[in-house]
Structure 1
């Protein structure tokens, strides 16, 4: 049996609550997103020409899975005691983030990541800034990679 799936149009996907969203972030990173109606999403992020941090945040309902496709990232998270933990991830490595954990990543120049957000958030946006972690990552760790 030949593999010959029928294409689904963006209009048809939209009727099922699927949205396509492409964004150029302030830090130069490009995001190519596919968002589901319950708050889940898939995002391919392409790093800027110069390595850069994303904005620190947490989710109340969603969990996230980061996959490094090309290049490398530094994953940073803050525990309830205010301690910051860093993890260096290379191509093929992954990290999972549970809800209520403040986190961010530094993407090396032109790195590519895949991020899957999963959970059920029908009540709106589930992204909350966490400036305390930004203060640590943006000031303590210089973005000179």
Structure 2
């Protein structure tokens, strides 16, 4: 097996791009020239919501490596739908689906983005209606809603 340097990878259309986000998360990305990417996200010291968004063509697969996350989605009826994902669970998000993620402290996710179109760059569009429903939702309120949903599902 032969190593590929970062410079060689870039010549092949793969870049390493890493950031500390405004919410304190650390994101470590490998980004392809076709718009596909792999992202490892490590949560902030305090839990935080990301920014609600959707993609025109990209699809995403979220995988929880450590801890848990809350997935929020804006339904076609403009209602908030919440889902809890724990270690080892995954979720597929199709194009045009407004969504957001809450990551509590000590959580790690992997996200695979694929199916984009290099002509739509970036294929990321704010979903402000979902932000209005999620960004002020505290971790305590979020856990209460998720627990109530779980109990309701158990009764059915």
Q: If the TM-score is normalised by the length of the shorter chain, which range does it land in?
A: over 0.9
- TM-superposed CA distance for 1:114, in Å, is 0.2
Q: 2:127 aligns with which of 113, 127, 130?
A: 130
TM-score of the two chains, using structure 1 as the length reference? 0.93
List structure 1 segments (4+ residues) > 6 angstroms apart after TM superposition: none
Whose helix fraction is larger, Structure 1's or Structure 2's? Answer: 2
TM-score of the two chains, using structure 2 as the length reference? 0.87
Name stretches of at least 5 consecutive residues in structure 1 with no aligned partner.
none
Name stretches of at least 5 consecutive residues in structure 2 with no aligned partner.
144-156
Q: 1:7 aligns with which of 3, 7, 15?
A: 3
Give the equivalent residue in structure 2 for 1:110. Answer: 106
- Aligned with 2:62: secondary structure? strand
**Residue pair 1:53, 1:143 contacting (<8 A) in 2 also:** no
- 1:32-47 matches, cutoff 5 A: 32-47=28-43
CA RMSD of aligned residues (A): 1.0
> Is 1:91 paired with 2:87?
yes
